[in-house]
Structure 1
Amino acid sequence: MSKSIYLLRHGQTTFNAQQRLQGHCNSGLTELGKEQASMIGASINRKIGNKKHWAVYCSPLGRAIETANIVCKELGIDSSLITTDERLKEFNLGDWEKCFIPDLVQNNPKLLSHRDWYLSAPNSESYESVVYRIKDFLHDDLIPDHLIVVSHGLTGAVFRGVYAAMSYSETFEQDLPQNAYFLLADHKISRIQCEVSVEAV
């Protein structure tokens, strides 16, 4: 794979702040989430050269599109050039979508002891399903070589895992940041931290 990919998760959402699971459902960005998206966009803007060489792809879920729009504004890229792609969607979390995490833990006190606990949701999408769609995306000859990808926490972890040929356990040992993003290039993954201003917190 000769692609260079800046991969980021959407900014903090209302459900994130409320400790609710989203999956395929959606909630809008908080003010902090908008600030996170803006900071990451500004950081990427300082790192890339000719913007015309970079394409922006994002999940079709609202929070990812909202983030991609803010990133494009920082980059000076017309948001009409954003391409949405179903393969970048978050895991479908089945019966647990919209549930409060503390309520799930109350019913299963050991739930969070496993890093892949999300996939315990009844009727959730399988890990193999998401691996398949990320592999399909990465090997798609129609996808440009210079990409900015806006995805989600879990799908982003699988994306990095597929790119670096990580094991299942290694994939889920990764963090799921909203104040950092990743450069995937030359078979290596670099984490780039972005600090938001105190006023936004």
Structure 2
Amino acid sequence: MTTTVYLTRHGQTQWNVEGRMQGWNDSPLTELGVKQAEWLGERLKGINLDKIYSSSSGRAYKTAEIINENKSVELISHDGLRELKLGKFQGLNQDEIKKMYPEQYYNYWNKPEIYKPVGDGETIEELIERIDKAIMEIIEENTGKSILIVTHTMPIKALLCSLENIDISNFWMEPYIKQTSLTTIEFDDKIHKIVQCADISHHEYQVKEYNE
């Protein structure tokens, strides 16, 4: 039985605009972030979803709530879907991190395989293990169903690394996971098929109207 998983990142947040690292911290959706969630909700309107799972972080859960306005299906908060825990990076902008923690800032973006969190955080390898466990548990509980998972950039990247056996050194390879981009993966027993990855076509036909 095929289980279809739709994966998306939350909408734009205030800290996204400010260039601040969020991790397990949080900031609210911007006006554009709300619109992005609405655009994806409209795109998914004709798709039957059995459940929606969301990271327990507020920005993801709010995105899921907006999408669910067109669905009214069960919405489940899941701690295992949270973003990478970034320790002392959380709440700081890129310039501040680069100045205060230059070695690990460099490793984070250029040598993710040796990145170590400053303070209480996770490595990329630990994130991959956490996300793989969470996603596989969700799939086992929803065999043969269609589910939406609302999470963050790095969990989506981590899942793709796990499924496609991508080395952590290539963690940041394209595609970039933009806000409310849509990745669709079909699972049939131990076989998976990536139907689409990081698609934002639902942005393109809405952005012009939003900007006018």
TM-score (norm 1): 0.84
Match of 1:72 among 61, 68, 75: 68
SS of the counterpart of 1:28? Answer: coil
SS of the counterpart of 1:7? Answer: strand
Aligned residues: percent identity?
A: 23
Shift of 1:39: 0.8
Aligned to 2:43: 43
Q: Which segment drifts farther, 174-183 or 2-11?
A: 174-183
Q: Aligned pair 1:137/2:140, yes or no?
A: no
Aligned to 2:33: 33
Shift of 1:172: 2.3
Aligned to 2:9: 9
Aligned to 2:56: 60
Shift of 1:177: 0.9
SS of the counterpart of 1:197? Answer: helix
Contact 1:7 1:181 in 2 (8 A): yes
Shift of 1:63: 0.3
Q: Aligned pair 1:182/2:176, yes or no?
A: no
User: Where do 5+ consecutive residues of structure 2 fail to align?
Assistant: 187-191
Amino acid at match of 2:83: E
Aligned to 1:128: 125
Contact 1:134 1:162 in 2 (8 A): no
Runs of 4+ in 1 over 6 A off after TM superposition: none
Count of aligned residue pairs for this structure pair: 194
Q: How far, CA to CA, are the matches of 1:98 and 1:20 in structure 2?
A: 6
Shift of 1:18: 0.4
Q: How far, CA to CA, are the matches of 2:132 and 2:17 in structure 1?
A: 31
Contact 1:115 1:173 in 2 (8 A): no
> Which digits, 9 at most, give the CA deviation of each residue in 1:130-150, with x for residues without a partner?
122222123222245421000
Q: How far, CA to CA, are the matches of 2:40 and 2:172 in structure 1?
A: 23
Shift of 1:4: 1.0
> Which digits, 9 at most, give the CA deviation of each residue in 1:52-73, with x for residues without a partner?
xx21000000000100001111
Q: How far, CA to CA, are the matches of 1:103 and 1:169 in structure 2?
A: 24
> Which digits, 9 at most, give the CA deviation of each residue in 1:13-65, with x for residues without a partner?
0000000000001000000111111111111223x2x44xx210000000001
Q: How far, CA to CA, are the matches of 2:150 and 2:13 in structure 1?
A: 14
Q: How far, CA to CA, are the matches of 1:162 and 1:90 in structure 2?
A: 16
Task: From the superposition, tell whether residues 160 and 93 of structure 1 become closer, same or farther in structure 2 (CA, over 3 Å).
Answer: same
> Which digits, 9 at most, give the CA deviation of each residue in 1:59-103, with x for residues without a partner?
000000100001111x3325xx21111110001000110001122
Q: How far, CA to CA, are the matches of 1:164 and 1:146 in structure 2?
A: 21
Q: Aligned pair 1:169/2:162, yes or no?
A: no
Amino acid at match of 1:11: G
Contact 1:15 1:21 in 2 (8 A): yes
